[in-house]
Amino acid sequence: MTSDTLTTKDGTRIYYKDWGSGPVVTFSHGWPLNADAWDGQMLFLARNGFRVIAHDRRGHGRSTQSSSKNDMNGYADDLAELFDALDLKAVSMVGHSTGGGEVARYIGRHGSRRVAKAVLIGAVPPVMLKSAANPEGLPLEVFDGIRAGVAGDRSQFFKDFALPFYGANRPGAKVSQGILDQFWRLSMQSGQLNAYECIKAFSETDFTEDLKKIDVPTLIMHGEDDQIVPIHDSAKKSVKLIKGAREIYYPGAPHGLTATMQDKVNADLLAFLRS
Backbone angles phi, psi at 24, to 5 degrees: -90, 130
Query: Does 226 participate in catalysis according to the annotation?
Result: yes
What DSSP character marks residue 56? P
Q: Of the listed 39, 56, 210, 226, which one is catalytic?
A: 226
How far apart CA 58 and CA 198 sit, in angstroms, is: 10
How far apart CA 105 and CA 57 sit, in angstroms, is: 14
How far apart CA 213 and CA 262 sit, in angstroms, is: 30
Please, which residues bridge with residue 13 across strands? 7
DSSP SS3 for 57: coil
Helix (H) / strand (E) containing 12: none
Query: Does 77 participate in catalysis according to the annotation?
Result: no
DSSP SS3 for 24: strand
Q: Of the listed 29, 55, 222, 255, which one is catalytic?
A: 255
How far apart CA 65 and CA 62 sit, in angstroms, is: 9
H helix and E strand count, the chain: 11, 8
Q: Of the listed 66, 97, 187, 234, which one is catalytic?
A: 97
- Catalytic residue annotation: 97, 226, 255
